Amino acid sequence: MIRIEQKPFGYKITFSGIISEKEVKDWHVESEKTLSEGPNDFSVLVDMRDMELLPVVCREQTYHGQKLYKRMGMNRSVVIVKDKLTSMQFRLIAQQTGIYADERYINASNNENWENDAINWLLNSVEPEVEKELT
């Protein structure tokens, strides 16, 4: 499941479960519509705590989705993860799309203040606690 919600800082995107290629394509279409109707400058919190590893077939669409968000005005993002593989997978995509420098990763499995840290990064540029080693 993928859900987009408007928030005071911009958008919260929740990825959970096993994501299908159709879901990623639908997310891209929904994102185009949502972003075209929204502010020109925004931040994004991506909650991936309950997502399984993204299937290979979905990576290209995710790449294009990240490029879309950047092109439409995303200035900062934060990704909430629970495992090392998901973190590594999305760091690689972020490096390829050019958003990596303004994206932070928070390991929710050992940071009970992850949401507060995420919002502080998005709104105030306060660096979150450095991601501790994920298992």
Query: Does residue 94 lie in a domain region?
Result: yes
Domain with residue 36: its CATH number is 3.30.750
Q: Which domain holds residue 98?
A: 2-124
Structural domain includes residue 114: yes
126 has pLDDT over 80: yes
User: In sequence order, what are the residues at sequence separation of 6 or more whose Cβ sits closer than 8 angstroms to the Cβ of residue 108?
Assistant: 49, 80, 81, 82, 114
- Could you identify the residue written with the tokens 């499941």? 1
pLDDT tens-place string over residues 61-94: 899 999 999 999 999 999 999 988 888 888 999 9
pLDDT at 130: 59
Cα 112 from Cα 33, distance rounded (Å): 34
- The Cα–Cα gap between 66 and 62 comes to 6
Number of domains in the chain: 1
Question: What pTM was computed for the model?
Answer: 0.91
